[in-house]
Chain A
Amino acid sequence: MSQNNIQMFPKYDVIVVGAGHAGCEAAVAAANMGSKVLLATMNMQTIAQMSCNPAMGGVAKGQIVREIDALGGYSGIVTDRTMIQFRMLNRSKGPAMWSPRAQSDRMAFAAEWRSMLEKHPNIDFWQEMVNGLIVKNGRVCGVTTGMGIEILSEAVVLTNGTFLNGIIHIGEKQFGGGRAGESAARGITEQLVSLGFEAGRMKTGTPPRLDGRSLNYDRMEEQPGDENPSKFSYSDTPTLTKQRSCHITYTSPEVHDLLKTGFDRSPMFNGRIQGLGPRYCPSIEDKINRFADRDRHQLFVEPEGWNTVEVYINGFSSSLPEDVQYKALKKIVGFEDVKMFRPGYAIEYDYFPPMQLSLSLETRLVKNLFFAGQINGTTGYEEAACQGMMAGLNAALAVKDQEPFILKRSEAYIGVLIDDLVSKGTEEPYRMFTSRAEFRILLRQDNADTRLTPLTEGLGIKGMDARLARVREKVQSANAIALYCRESNVSPDDINGYLETAGTPAIKQRTKIHNLLMRPQIDIMGLRQALPHLNEFLKKYDAECIESAEIDLKYEAYIEKEQEMAVRMRRLEDLRLYDSLDYHALPSLSIEARQKLTKVRPRTIGQASRISGVSPSDISVLLIHVGR
């Protein structure tokens, strides 16, 4: 190392490699923990790029963004400040399913992220490709760059996204790249493999971008935003006053036939793509091929921002030759005069099977080295962002020699995600679904703050005090509302009119508000209108708090049932298994269990119980060996 470099760079606490959703959250999380952070990216113009669709949230993903916000991450704030449309999805499906989703202004989103990062005094930037790690005695101590610079740090977070040996496919053409128009990153995979890491290959894709001026929206269905748009952050971010609509159109048999003419040149079908793609996010050619009986597929036409004509065609991801894409697009209703900005493409990239990580997202092979995002085999901005945040927090904690911060499956989708990755691994790009969580009723978007913000107490995250105070106030208010509803009676005369219009039986004697609220047809807004005293009482509380209190009261029996099961599960989650435990020395374990446990090195008995091949009797044996 030359004297020169030492002057150029201080020794950092944490170097974050990559500035996508994972990298940005990692940098902020570590910086807010007081770490001195360097954010290294190949291109500072593409910080926080939305590589795929211009949207945040959605089913399960929206809950994750709320969780990130509750833990002090910035994704929710940036989204709120730059969205062009907001919808609460699944309104009709019950509170556990309500999922916030925003259509973002792609350019504004990236700009806002960069500006927030730049405002942070603990974050430095460096634009260059990181092509290696400095590893000494099984511990990472910095990175090396393409220019041969060595930058030292206590910890490194890798968030390389799709850039590691990325190959882009369009028809029979293929070229190296991490994203359209950006080059791939080399060196890191090769070095990690030489250190003993296992690497794999994954594939994902993106649809064409079109010129919005060439589309006929009159021939499509309009999909406007919510009338009363909500938002992601629990902090004081703005709500939307005007919104842009999306539009819906469909493919047709004619479109399918045209697409089929390119199948022989498809890298998907001729075997050129080896990586495994996500089944829940198939390319249009894959949909036509696998579900031949469907004569149309839904397409969402999503605007890319307030001030651009560019649109994103959600549902038309493709790696067919560009001319085939173009011809097929022209046959879609509303797209007759279409002009393309760029074709869709597929991308293959390296990932590291996540069973090589511990629950803190630290690699088990190299100390203080953390992985987050697509490098772990996940897909999606939200999945990446939450891992980045957790890796950033844990890198900062590792630097301070403190215990890692780990969320349980019963506490957060983030906990489910990381536990799934680490305990089970993933064969295809991993996306969050609500069905992956066993305690869906507990992990709602309305209560992410009361669930998670209190857990940050004592971690020392900058700026959390105001959030903690807000949560305490929300909890107190909810308790007061609950108490009122449990104790106040209403008389038949006051309420039967409303009950009748709501289509639910009248009451014959005085009844508690809570009991009425438990009827599915009844909501607190309706009760408020019918009961002046309730209305008066609720005036001092904000809408979000009332809604949360209402959900807890209305679904109390279900919530309690899940809580009970969660508590049972938690007992095993609290029983630690230490890394030093030699599973091969426990002859009572089945051979498969010994191998799997040695590979995964679960942190708790609970995690061990979720590893395939570890049976209940193996768990009993472990219980004995960890002591009581």
Chain B
Amino acid sequence: MYYSKHQFDDTIVALATPAGIGAIAVIRLSGKDALRIADLFFYGKKLSRQKSHTAHFGTIRHENQHVIDEVLATVFVAPRSYTRENTVEISTHGSPYIVQQVIQLAIRHGARMAQPGEFTLRAFLNGQLDLSQAEAVADLIASNSESAHQLAIQQMRGGFSLQIKQLREELVHFASLMELELDFGEEDVEFANRDDLKLLVLKIQKIIRHLSDSFALGNVLKNGVLTVIAGRPNAGKSTLLNALLNEERAIVSEIAGTTRDTIEEILNINGIAFRLVDTAGIRQATDAIEAIGVQKTMEKVRQSAVLLYVFDMLETTMEEVKTDLEALRQDDMKILVICNKQDTNELFQIEVLSKRIQVDKIIALSAKYGTHLKDLKSTLYDLVSAGQVKSDSTIVSNARHYEALQKSDECLSAVLNSMATGITTDFVAMDIRRALYHLGSITGTVTTDDLLENIFRNFCIGK
């Protein structure tokens, strides 16, 4: 199935400013329907009636009328824009969550996520750039898609893609059965069981919706990488949090058990958001409230992608560290061990500890005096940027996936609908093939050769 990824008559959307957290973000919509689409979620003046090169204040609203952000929308009417198409640039506040929401709104209202370099490509195709400029663009596109590709590979490691892949395999199998039925119906072959197909489609839709909802909520981005700070009471967890954030967020005191609830803060390291959670210390709780605190700590630990285990170098023995880690360790979790209060115990032998415990990194620092915090920050950043942490960190790719999920969902609904009306297999197969095509943009393309391959491998056909 070679449905083209390159179309020039539709409207594309993408973040125009660098991804990550900045003061403002600019989202650009370009194409014939850019103004019309923006009008569907921009509340203010009707953009499609405005003159070119004018800016307008308004709000962006979700379909449920909930206000997402106050924004400034700048209108460029074709051909007086970079792409020579109708263009709207929406300046929002620089939260990845807001950006994600706005891009998703645009996609839901008919825009398509732009390919890497596509704005420039359109500018060229529409006669805005000359060839020498275009040569440079070609290089840019090539390198852009290279990094996009690497990013995609990073994200592929997550459990999400694994799930999609499995579902796709099942769907490919069904698609093959349908094709078998169509192309080899004259022969002695088994037919696709419609009830099974329906169940499978429903199952896939459930997961797809779950996934696209989680994007729609912007969970991953809003929350950043969930990083839980845990350790024994008075190990200096809250001090570490404050040191990282440079502000007095958590209540810090000398009394063990001060933090009874979990506290969350966003830490931005080079554009990557970490959702730091300070927790109550782990110990035998002495009162009911504290018991709840400990329970909450464990809950958070279970959800976390990164665990910062903090201990007091003077007070805690290696044996105790080992016991604590065993209790806290979860699958897929990255563990950093923070040897706090570095200043208090010069005799502590980190090398010995590193031989006794299995963790990703051990860092000795002083939260109170702010020493070696840089090491911690760069370690955190490296973990995520190297793709080792379970996260889908960039907006662009997420929105692309979101679009693919939405489209697959639509096609699968069409499959169910077609089956319900009792229409013939050729039309049902058409929608299944379209669904596979969209899922394929996340997991890799399914070609007709793949389907035939599957048929030849698994079924005895041919007179």
Name A's B-contacting residues (CB within 8 A).
53, 58-60, 89-90, 92-97, 278-282, 287, 290-291, 294, 297-298, 300, 314-315, 409, 424, 433-438, 440-441, 519-521, 555, 558, 561-562, 565, 568-569, 571-572, 586-590, 606, 609-610, 615-617, 619-621, 623-625, 627-628
Query: How many Å lie between the Cα of A60 and that of B186 in the bound state?
Result: 12
Most chain B C-beta atoms within 10 Å of own C-beta, residue among A97, A290, A561, A586: A97
Most chain B C-beta atoms within 10 Å of own C-beta, residue among A60, A96, A433, A620: A620
User: Is the Cβ of B121 less than 8 Å from the Cβ of A569?
Assistant: no
User: Is the Cβ of B463 less than 8 Å from the Cβ of A300?
Assistant: yes
> Distance in Å from the Cβ of A129 to the closest Cβ of chain B?
32
> Distance in Å from the Cβ of A112 to the closest Cβ of chain B?
25
User: Is the Cβ of B462 less than 8 Å from the Cβ of A520?
Assistant: no
> Distance in Å from the Cβ of B185 to the closest Cβ of chain A?
5
Question: Which secondary structure dominates where chain B touches chain A?
Answer: helix
Question: Which secondary structure dominates where chain A touches chain B?
Answer: loop
**What residues of A have a CB within 8 angstroms of the CB of B8 in the complex?**
571
User: Is the Cβ of B183 less than 8 Å from the Cβ of A434?
Assistant: yes
Q: Which of A94, A281, A287, A620 has a CB less than 8 Å from the CB of B425?
A: A94
Task: Name B144's closest neighbour in chain A (CB-CB).
Answer: A617
Instruction: Assess whether B184 is interfacial by the CB under 8 Å rule.
Output: yes
**What residues of B have a CB within 8 angstroms of the CB of A441 in the complex?**
426-427, 430
> Distance in Å from the Cβ of B425 to the closest Cβ of chain A?
5
17 contacts between A and B (CB under 8 A): A60-B183, A97-B182, A97-B424, A290-B460, A409-B2, A424-B449, A433-B452, A435-B182, A568-B7, A571-B4, A572-B6, A586-B138, A616-B6, A619-B6, A624-B135, A625-B138, A628-B125
**What residues of A have a CB within 8 angstroms of the CB of B6 in the complex?**
572, 609, 616, 619-620, 623
Q: Which of A60, A278, A616 has a CB less than 8 Å from the CB of B5?
A: A616
**What residues of A have a CB within 8 angstroms of the CB of B188 in the complex?**
297-298
User: Is the Cβ of B3 less than 8 Å from the Cβ of A624?
Assistant: no
Task: Name B117's closest neighbour in chain A (CB-CB).
Answer: A620
User: Is the Cβ of A617 less than 8 Å from the Cβ of B142?
Assistant: yes
Given contacts A97-B425, A616-B145, A620-B115, whether A438 and B3 have CB atoms under 8 Å apart is yes
Given contacts A94-B425, A298-B187, A628-B125, whether A609 and B3 have CB atoms under 8 Å apart is no
Query: How many Å lie between the Cα of A298 and that of B187 in the bound state?
Result: 8
Query: How many Å lie between the Cα of A424 and that of B183 in the bound state?
Result: 21
User: Is the Cβ of B426 less than 8 Å from the Cβ of A93?
Assistant: yes
Query: How many Å lie between the Cα of A293 and that of B350 in the bound state?
Result: 62
Query: How many Å lie between the Cα of A119 and that of B448 in the bound state?
Result: 42
How many CB-defined contacts (below 8 Å) exist between A and B?
A: 168
Residue interface mask B130-157, A partner, CB < 8 A = 1:
0100110111011011100000000000
User: Is the Cβ of A555 less than 8 Å from the Cβ of B183?
Assistant: no
User: Is the Cβ of A628 less than 8 Å from the Cβ of B145?
Assistant: no
Task: Name A90's closest neighbour in chain B (CB-CB).
Answer: B185
Q: Which of B118, B182, B421, B462 has a CB less than 8 Å from the CB of A278?
A: B462
Query: How many Å lie between the Cα of A569 and that of B125 in the bound state?
Result: 17
Q: Which of A287, A434, A610, A627 has a CB less than 8 Å from the CB of B182?
A: A434
> Distance in Å from the Cβ of B460 to the closest Cβ of chain A?
4
Query: How many Å lie between the Cα of A587 and that of B135 in the bound state?
Result: 10
Name B's A-contacting residues (CB within 8 A).
1-9, 115-118, 121, 124-127, 131, 134-135, 137-139, 141-142, 144-146, 179, 181-188, 421-427, 429-430, 433, 448-449, 451-452, 456, 460-463
Task: Name A521's closest neighbour in chain B (CB-CB).
Answer: B422
User: Is the Cβ of A435 less than 8 Å from the Cβ of B125?
Assistant: no
> Distance in Å from the Cβ of B427 to the closest Cβ of chain A?
5
Query: How many Å lie between the Cα of A256 and that of B56 in the bound state?
Result: 80
**What residues of A have a CB within 8 angstroms of the CB of B449 in the complex?**
424
> Distance in Å from the Cβ of A319 to the closest Cβ of chain B?
15
Task: Name B141's closest neighbour in chain A (CB-CB).
Answer: A620
Most chain A C-beta atoms within 10 Å of own C-beta, residue among B131, B139, B183: B183
Q: Which of A297, A424, A520, A616 has a CB less than 8 Å from the CB of B424?
A: A520
Query: How many Å lie between the Cα of A315 and that of B463 in the bound state?
Result: 4
**What residues of B have a CB within 8 angstroms of the CB of A623 in the complex?**
6, 121, 125
User: Is the Cβ of B115 less than 8 Å from the Cβ of A520?
Assistant: no
Task: Name B137's closest neighbour in chain A (CB-CB).
Answer: A624
User: Is the Cβ of A297 less than 8 Å from the Cβ of B452?
Assistant: no
User: Is the Cβ of A558 less than 8 Å from the Cβ of B137?
Assistant: no
User: Is the Cβ of A279 less than 8 Å from the Cβ of B456?
Assistant: yes
Q: Which of B115, B127, B145, B186 has a CB less than 8 Å from the CB of A58?
A: B186
User: Is the Cβ of B145 less than 8 Å from the Cβ of A615?
Assistant: yes
Q: Which of B115, B138, B183, B430 has a CB less than 8 Å from the CB of A562?
A: B430
User: Is the Cβ of B182 less than 8 Å from the Cβ of A588?
Assistant: no
Given contacts A59-B182, A620-B121, A625-B138, whether A520 and B423 have CB atoms under 8 Å apart is yes
Given contacts A619-B6, A628-B124, whether A440 and B426 have CB atoms under 8 Å apart is yes
Task: Name A431's closest neighbour in chain B (CB-CB).
Answer: B462
Task: Name B185's closest neighbour in chain A (CB-CB).
Answer: A90
Q: Which of A279, A281, A519, A555 has a CB less than 8 Å from the CB of B427?
A: A555
**What residues of A have a CB within 8 angstroms of the CB of B451 in the complex?**
435
Query: Besides A433-B452, A616-B145, 5 other CB < 8 A contacts?
Result: A58-B186, A435-B452, A519-B421, A562-B430, A588-B138
User: Is the Cβ of A280 less than 8 Å from the Cβ of B461?
Assistant: yes
Q: Which of A94, A435, A616, A619 has a CB less than 8 Å from the CB of B423?
A: A94
Query: How many Å lie between the Cα of A433 and that of B135 in the bound state?
Result: 41
Query: How many Å lie between the Cα of A521 and that of B421 in the bound state?
Result: 9
Task: Name A94's closest neighbour in chain B (CB-CB).
Answer: B424
**What residues of A have a CB within 8 angstroms of the CB of B427 in the complex?**
94, 96, 441, 555, 558
User: Is the Cβ of A95 less than 8 Å from the Cβ of B426?
Assistant: yes
Query: How many Å lie between the Cα of A625 and that of B9 in the bound state?
Result: 20
**What residues of A have a CB within 8 angstroms of the CB of B134 in the complex?**
624
Query: How many Å lie between the Cα of A369 and that of B260 in the bound state?
Result: 85
Query: How many Å lie between the Cα of A53 and that of B144 in the bound state?
Result: 54
**What residues of B have a CB within 8 angstroms of the CB of A290 in the complex?**
460
User: Is the Cβ of A435 less than 8 Å from the Cβ of B179?
Assistant: yes
**What residues of B have a CB within 8 angstroms of the CB of A569 in the complex?**
2-4
7 nearest CB pairs, A to B = A94-B424, A617-B145, A94-B426, A588-B138, A96-B426, A291-B460, A279-B456
Query: How many Å lie between the Cα of A298 and that of B462 in the bound state?
Result: 10
Query: How many Å lie between the Cα of A291 and that of B31 in the bound state?
Result: 54
**What residues of B have a CB within 8 angstroms of the CB of A572 in the complex?**
4, 6
Task: Name A626's closest neighbour in chain B (CB-CB).
Answer: B125
Query: How many Å lie between the Cα of A586 and that of B141 in the bound state?
Result: 13
**What residues of A have a CB within 8 angstroms of the CB of B452 in the complex?**
433, 435-436
**What residues of A have a CB within 8 angstroms of the CB of B141 in the complex?**
588, 617, 620-621, 624
> Distance in Å from the Cβ of A554 to the closest Cβ of chain B?
9
**What residues of B have a CB within 8 angstroms of the CB of A298 in the complex?**
187-188, 463
> Distance in Å from the Cβ of A209 to the closest Cβ of chain B?
15
